[in-house]
Amino acid sequence: MAALFTPRANLFARLAIAGLVGSIAAVALATYGWDRSSYSTHQNLFVQQTVPFSHQHHVGSIGLDCRYCHTSVEKSAFAGIPPTSTCMNCHQQIWTEAKVLEPVRTSWQTNKPLIWQRVNRLPDFVFFNHSIHVNKGIGCVECHGRVDQMPLMYAAQPLTMQWCLDCHRDPAKHLRPADQVFSMEWQPPASKDKRKAQQAALMESYRIHPIGLTDCSTCHR
């Protein structure tokens, strides 16, 4: 009686199983890579706006404080988007005929707000509070990068769950004195010993306890 399977059947079966496992692994790796790529996180990608607002000019050259435009950053979860009146505080007097500012003047005249595109995005199921971070010594630069060097705004960090957890597990090295939170140029002490001492002092001063910072309910409510 002839055998149902030839000797090569085992080889073909092994190759099929290996191919299936390899395909699943490849799909998993591709999904992992995509999830962390700039196409997914939008990191380092310029966002087109109605008005090409330059942080490099306003923050870097003129020296505007972040809080001048983002007025609620110290007391609210949302940093705040400046109303047109904030822009017109200056632009009623300078660049009054600039073509690039026509949408600003139209917004002012019609009392219709400008539509800004979000640059830093978090999923709806993630809770983020600006005020707790800045009041605990986290500088704007940590998340938003050197905006004073950005002609057009882009997301400087991936803002993935892993990226956030890395900070929550070891917040000490991200802290700065309260009067330096909005500084673009502040740097910690160059000396390792002085840097460690400052970090320990800031952790105590801000009463930060990392143990609870990685609880799911901290960011997912």
Torsion region of 136: left, alpha or beta (phi above 0 gives left; psi -120 to 50 gives alpha): alpha
Amino acid in position 219: C
pLDDT reading at 219 higher than 70: yes
Residues 155 and 117: beta-carbon distance below 8 Å: no
Q: Would you state the pLDDT for residue 18?
A: 76
- Give CA–CA dist 164/189, Å, rounded: 24
| DSSP 8-state assignment for residue 220 | -
pLDDT of residue 40: 64
Q: What percent of the chain has pLDDT over 90?
A: 77
| Element holding 198 (H helix, E strand) | helix 192-206
C-alpha span between 171 and 177 (Å, rounded):
13
Q: Helices then strands (H, E): number in the chain?
A: 11, 0
Asked whether 154 and 46 are in contact (CB, 8 A), the reply is yes
pLDDT in tens, 3-47: 555 666 666 667 677 777 777 766 666 555 555 566 567 798 999
The residues spanned by each domain of the chain are: 9-39, 54-81+120-219
- Per-residue pLDDT of 81-139, as tens digits, reads 999 999 999 999 999 999 999 999 999 999 999 999 999 989 999 999 999 999 999 99
**What is the arithmetic mean of pLDDT over 174-188?**
97
Residue with tokens 């949302």: 78
Q: What is the pLDDT of residue 191?
A: 97
